[in-house]
Structure 1
Amino acid sequence: MPEYNLCSLSEEEETEMKHFFTKYDVDENGMLELDELQKMFANFNVIALKEDIKAFFERVDTDQDGTVDYDELMAYIEQIMAEKCSSDDVLDAFNLIDEDGSGEVSHQEVAVAMQKADVGIPAEDIMYLLEEADLNNDGTISFSEFRSLIFGL
């Protein structure tokens, strides 16, 4: 069975984060200012008060220079992931669904598991969720994709 590290991003996820950071670094100075961060939140449809975004900004801006660089953002994300993944619950859930131990689960395996768990989500909504989670459209959900689905990364 493959080994997974719940507390770090995969290379693919790191590349995606770098892409998003660069996309919102409009002035291309390698740092996000508060207004750039607000645009990022808006584009992700995060509804937050300006005060909340400012508080988040100040928490992530560890060197207190009025900007958030990529390393600060990644350190914050890694801290959040470490807090969220301090237990093996997500890995245990994935392994329960991954009955054959392949390290990937089919859409059907996830749908059956969710129906058995009686989560109260209609089958068509489950299938939509799975299609969204299958980032590389290969018909299976890797642990990385599963983790992203659970953590909303």
Structure 2
Amino acid sequence: MRRDVMEFERVLGYFDEDGDRKISLSELRSRMSKISGEFELKEAEIAIESLDSDGDGLLSLEDLITLMESVSEDEKLKDLKEAFEMYDSEGCGFITPKSLKRMLNKLGDSSKSIDECKLMIGRFDLNGDGVLSFEEFRIMME
């Protein structure tokens, strides 16, 4: 069994007070209240409704895994945006040859010319405009 699945099972076990391998509305409220103070009924209902994949009103191990994978994807996207912003030193919403050269210099590679930076950008510049948009950067980083 993969290590991360074992961790999800531990989380499920913590919330699953009656041992049925599912998290009910009352179990979610009870445990979340212990973790973060009061957890309103409406908050718990929204959480169950948005995560419950089979419509039984309970959260399963698979629902927890889906939740954690989506959180992980959100975190990756946030990290990519932060990295993109570092390269977009001009604040124009694109990585230009000039901003790429500037960032490479900061990273210790001062040997690249503007023409070399244009070539680097050109490999991932899908629309041929000479700069990298965030979407092109994201595809490059995949």
TM-score by length of 2: 0.49
Higher helix fraction (1 or 2): 2
Q: Per residue, is there more strand in 1 or in 2?
A: 1
Q: Report which of the two structures shows the higher radius of gyration computed on alpha carbons.
A: 2
Q: Taking CA–CA contacts closer than 8 Å with sequence separation of 6 or more, which of the two structures ends up with the larger relative contact order?
A: 1
TM, length-normalised to structure 1: 0.45
